Amino acid sequence: MTGGQAAAGPQPGAATQPQTFILDGQRLRQLRRQHGLSQEELADQAGLSVATVARLERQASAPCRGRTLGRLARALGEQPASTTLRPLDV
């Protein structure tokens, strides 16, 4: 940026696309077990359905919204990056 230009950010009222990440399902399962949680307990603590947790764990590279990733990380006391393979380019 030069000459006092401001960074272009989202316009007020503009719809933003939620960011999608690729989650490592095996790592998610490993972390859940290390914390002594069942899928049901993790889902409850993260505010997600058991079906969502089970689906994410079954896939080696599961697409996952940023909000979902954040909820799982908080419930596990982990940084979101600890379960993420990479952001998904949309």
Other Cβ atoms less than 10 A from the Cβ of 76: the count is 20
Residue 12, pLDDT score: 54
Q: Which residues of the chain have pLDDT under 50?
A: 1-9, 90
Of the candidates 50, 70, 33, 10, the residue with the CA atom closest to the CA atom of residue 82: 70
Residue 15, pLDDT score: 58
Of the candidates 20, 23, 26, the residue with the CA atom closest to the CA atom of residue 84: 23
Residue 83, pLDDT score: 74
Residue 9, pLDDT score: 45
Residue 41, pLDDT score: 98
Residue 16, pLDDT score: 67
Local structure of 21: helix, strand or coil: strand
Could you tell me if residue 27 is inside a domain? Answer: yes
CATH number of domain containing 58: 1.10.260.40
Could you tell me if residue 43 is inside a domain? Answer: yes
Could you tell me if residue 12 is inside a domain? Answer: no
- The domain containing residue 83 runs over which residues? 20-87
